Amino acid sequence: MTQPYSTFCDDFYVNMRLGSQLALPHTRETVLHFFERLGKAFPGMTRFRKSGEPNEFSLEEDRTAPSYRWTSLEQKRLTSGHVNPASLDEALKLHSLVLDMAPHHLGISPIEIDYLDVLFGFDLSFSGNHDEIVAESLFPESPLTCLSEETGAKAVDFQPSVTVALSDDCRLQARIDVVTRTNSYQVRTGDYSDDAISVYLIVRRYWGDRPKESLEAMFAKLTEKADELCTTHVAQKILKPISAAIASRS
């Protein structure tokens, strides 16, 4: 399955997250009606699940497929995702429908909304020391790697997270998280799994000023901004160096 950032990563996904300050409705009728409506729009979404968390339900497509969609209704959060979409426009179809349905089917009011964000996720598979890869590719000249100069030192936790405000009122923010999945046992024994290094770009709009735009219009703007940040910064300055470091070990 080809996706927009296949040059830099193995899997790419676009998630939507709508946070509420109040508990969302979870009655039987509300939950079933909401997911039945989604199922009609996306016939492949047939797997209904109740997680171990209280009042958390999801509807998803086959997760073993190269590309799939999912939607989750949590205690105070509504989320959806599209893994390996053919394009950003394709990913927006699910998210736009979920946000369009939220006020009518779930009774979500602008008054209670805490935030709306888009997450661009990039998974880069590597069977080896993830933290070593991140340290070498993203911190080659950084004083933060000074401890690595000690004899026998091995990287066990390099997971940078950076957040910046993109507006004067700080309601629009962007964050980059780099998540590694290597543990000390693997570093000690050299027995590594095939887990992925994940890079997350999150563009979030806090709702305190109650913007007049619809949720769908606001999310489209957030997605456009995230794509711009990826093109300008993330792809070349973060994904490419990590990908190159992984390729040099294969």
pLDDT digits (tens, 9 = 90+) for 102-144: 999 999 999 999 999 999 999 999 999 999 999 999 999 899 9
51 phi and psi angles, rounded to 5 deg: -80, 180
What is the per-residue pLDDT for 209? 85
Judge whether 59 lies within some domain. yes
| 192 backbone dihedrals φ, ψ, rounded to 5° | -95, 150
Domain count, the chain: 1
The pair phi, psi for residue 49, each rounded to 5°, is: -135, 145
DSSP bridge partners of 162: 176
Whether 26 is covered by a domain: the verdict is yes
pLDDT at 52: 78
DSSP class of 57: E
pLDDT, one tens digit for every residue, the chain (250 residues) = 457 788 899 999 999 999 999 999 999 999 999 999 999 999 999 999 998 778 899 999 999 999 999 999 999 999 999 999 999 999 999 999 999 999 999 999 999 999 999 999 999 999 999 999 999 999 998 999 999 999 999 999 999 999 999 999 999 999 999 999 999 999 999 999 999 999 999 999 999 888 889 999 999 999 999 999 999 999 999 999 999 999 998 7
Q: Provide the pLDDT for residue 2.
A: 54
Residue 4 in any domain: the answer is no
1 occurs within a structural domain: no
Does residue 3 belong to any structural domain of this protein?
no
Buried b vs exposed e over 94-114: b needs ≥16 C-beta within 10 Å?
Answer: bbbbbbebbeebbebeeeebe
Host domain of residue 126: 11-249
- Whether 2 is covered by a domain: the verdict is no
Report yes or no on 5 lying in a domain: no
**What integer pLDDT is reported at residue 211 of this predicted model?**
85
Beta bridge partners of 23: none
Q: What is the largest CA-CA distance in the chain?
A: 63
In a domain, residue 6? The reply is no
Residue 16's closest CA among 106, 118, 115, 120?
118
